[in-house]
Chain A
Amino acid sequence: MLLLAGAGRAGAAGGGAAVADIFIQAEKQRLIEHSEFQQYESAFAAWDELYETVMFMDAGANIGLLIRNVATASCWSKFVSKVDDLPDDVVKTDLKVFIQDVKSGEAIAGEITAISNRLDNLFAMPQTQPFINDLINFSTGNSGRIARFGDISTLKNTITNLIENPIVNNVKSYDLLINDIEHFMINYRSVPGALNYFDELLQTPLKFKGGAFGIEILSNPPPVLAGKTLIKLESGIDDIDNFRYDLMFEDGSGMKIFVETKNYSSGTGFTTSFYNQFKAYISNPQLENMDQLKYFFRSNDGVTKATQVKKFKNMMKSNAKELFESNPSLFRSIKKENGIDFIDDWDDLKTMMESPTISIDHPVFNFIEMF
C-alpha cells in the first residue's frame, strides 16, 4: 500500500496521504461492524482530525510546509500515541512508517534551518566579506555563475541544496563542512585560482563532493603538507564521473608539491581519464622526485592504501613503457624492489608492478596518501 513515500520524496506527499486516507477509511468501515471497534475509534478519530487539520491535498509538493503542518498540529502527538491501539495489520504498519517519515523529515527541516542559520552567520562575518564580494563580482556577465552565486541569497541556496543532496556523501557533517568553507574564504582569497576553484565546487553535487574533500585537507593539513604554503589552485573536469581538483604547494626551498584529492568509494575504478591525468602529472617537467606528487584518497569504507596501491599497480603495469618514457629520469631515480639497484628501463618498472611481494610502503608508492 502506498502511503507517504518518505519525507525526502516530496512529489507524492499530498497524494500519498490522500491514498492512505482511502485505505484507512476502508479499514475503519471494516472494523466498525465489530464489537471491539470501540478500542480503535479514538485512533481513527485522531487520523481524521490530523487529515482535516493539515490539509494534505493543499500542501501539494511542498514537503517542508507539509512536514511543518503535520509536526506542529496540536493533534499530532495524540495521533502518534493512538496508532499503537490499532490492530496489527498493514494499515498500522504503514501509519507507523508515516510517523517515522514525518519525524525524519522534521529532522531534515531542522537541519536545513540550522544550515541556514550557520550560513547567515558565515556571510555576516567581516573576515569572509572580501571573498564573498570577490565571488559575487566574479559572477558578473556569466549566467551560470549568476545562477549559482549572483547574490548572497542565491549563494546560500546553492550551498544548502548541495549539502542536502544525497549524492554528496562521504563528506563531513554540515557544520564542519561550513567551517572548512569559512577557513577557505578567510585564508585563501589571495591564492591564484581560488575563485575558479570555489565556482567549480558549486557546479554539481559530484564536484561539491570532490571539492569538499579538498577544502577539508586545506583546513586540516596532513603531516606531509604541514608547514608548506598553498600557492595555487587549479580546477578542471576530467570526465563526467571523475572530477579533479589540484592544489599546488611550495616548501621553504622553492620545491613544488602537486596535490590531487580523490573522494572515491571502494568500487571506483581507475578510468582512462584517471590514467591520462596521472600521466600528465608524471610528465610534468617540474616533477623530479616522487615526493613532489601526492594523491590523497579519503579513507572511505573499503578504501585503503593497499586497495589503491593494487589499482595503481595494475594501471602502471599495463602502461609501464608509456609512463616510464614520459619521465625517464624520475623513474630512474627510484630503486627496484630489492632496494639496492635502480630502475634502469621500462621493463624494470613493469616487473616491479607485477611483483606480488612488493610492499605498499615501497618508495614508488610514496605519492599515495590516505586521509
Chain B
Amino acid sequence: MKYRIIQTGINFFDLEINLMISNRKNILSIDTHLELTSIEDASKILSFNNEVVVLDSLNNGFLVGNGKFLQERILSYVNPFLLVYNKNPQYYAVYNKNLELILKDVHNFGRTLISSYIIDGIGASSNIRISNLNELEKTSAFPLYSLGTWPDGAVEKPYQVNEFCGIYNKTLVCTLNSGAVLLLDIEKGEIVKFIENAKFPRMLYVDNENENIYKGLFGRRYIELDVNIGVITREVIIEDQLRKLKGINDETVFWASIGRSYLYDGLFYFGIETNDIGIFDPVSAKVVDYHEFEFDKSKGQQLKGGKENLQVKDGIIYCLDTLGNLYELESEKLKS
C-alpha cells in the first residue's frame, strides 16, 4: 500500500466532519490543515445539528464560538439521540435533536445506541436491558445469569456481552465473552437462538440494518451468520493466507491472527497484532492488500486501538498511532 504521514501531533480525527485535533488544542481541517479554532484539552469532536461540538477530556462540550454547549457531559451522539451524564448530582440522560429530555435516571441505562434503542449489559452485568427511546414503556430485559457459566480453561465464568452488534427485524445480535453469539428478541427479552459454539467473541458487522447476514473477520476465520435462521452459513479459514503474509512456515506455531476488523463499504479493514493493516474481500474471501508498519518499539509506538482511530473514506484508510502521527494509506491493488 502507498502511505504517507499527513499530520503529526494528532489526538483525534473524524473523516465525516473533516476535522482533526492537534496538540490537544487546535481544531484543523483534514483537507486544508487550516485552523478552525482552539479549545484547551480538546479530545473529541462531534457534529450536532450541523454545529461543531468539541469535547474536552472530561467530556464537557463546547460549541465553536459560543462556549459551553450543555451543563452535562456528553457520552455519545447517534443521530438523533444525545447521551449525556452528570456527576454531582449523578444522573444519566438522553436528549433528542431538539434537546428535549427523553430519559433520565440516577444510574446508567446503557451506552449502546442502535436505531431507536438504548441497550445496557456490556461487561460485568447481570442483565441485558433494552429500552425503546420512542416507546419507553416497551422496555425488556434478559437475565444473563440464566445462561449459566462457561469454562474458561479451568475457571467457570459468567457469560458477559462483549458487543451489541446490531438489530435485525426485532432481533438483537450480541457477541459474548465465551465466543458464543446470542440472538435476543428485543421486545420480549427472550432468546431467539444461542449459538454456543460460534467461537466468535467480537467484531460481527452488517452492511446495513435491513440485512439479515452478519459478517465477521476475527482470529483466522471469516464467517457469515444468517440472523433469520440463527446459523453460521459460511465459514472460511484464512490461516494459509495469513501465514504467507507474515512469512511463517507450517512447522512453526502460528501466532498471527486478526484482533480487530471494521466493515466499510463491503470490505473488511483489519489489524494483525499491533502494527499491520490489511484489507479482506468477503466475496472472494481473500486478503487483497496488506501493509506492515515499522514502528519504534522503544517509544511505545503502535497503532491506536478503537474504531475511531481507523477510518476509511472513498477507499482510503486513515489511521492514528500512539505518537500522534496520522497516516493515509491507499491500496493500489484495490484501485487496479
Contact = CB atoms under 8 A, between A and B. Distances in A.
Given A226-B154, A325-B43, A286 B259 contact: yes
Interface stretch (B27-35, B195-203, B278-286): B195-203
B305 A327 contact: yes
A173 interface: no
A192 interface: yes
Given A231-B254, A283-B304, A329-B306, A321 B153 contact: no
Nearest to A283: B322
Given A254-B221, A345-B58, A285 B304 contact: yes
Interface in B292-336: 297, 300, 302-306, 309, 322
17 contacts: A190-B251, A192-B248, A225-B153, A226-B155, A230-B253, A232-B253, A253-B218, A256-B257, A256-B259, A283-B304, A289-B123, A289-B177, A330-B305, A335-B123, A342-B111, A342-B122, A347-B58
Contacts of A279: 300
B107 interface: yes
B191 interface: no
A252 B73 CA distance: 40
A141 B108 CA distance: 61
B162 A288 contact: yes
A332 to B, nearest CB: 7
Interface of A: 190-192, 221, 223-232, 236, 248, 250-256, 276, 279-280, 283-289, 291, 321, 325-330, 332-335, 339-342, 344-347, 363
A234 to B, nearest CB: 10
Contact of B273 (A229, A286, A334, A342): A286
Nearest to A330: B305
B253 A227 contact: no
B220 A344 contact: no
A323 B231 CA distance: 40
Interface string B169-182: 00000000111000
B124 A339 contact: yes
B61 interface: no
A329 B305 contact: yes
A232 B272 CA distance: 14
Given A224-B153, A342-B108, 12 more contacts: A192-B252, A229-B253, A253-B200, A253-B201, A285-B260, A285-B271, A289-B162, A334-B123, A335-B124, A341-B92, A342-B122, A345-B58
Contact of B152 (A230, A251, A363): A251
Interface string B1-41: 00000000001000000000000000000000000000000
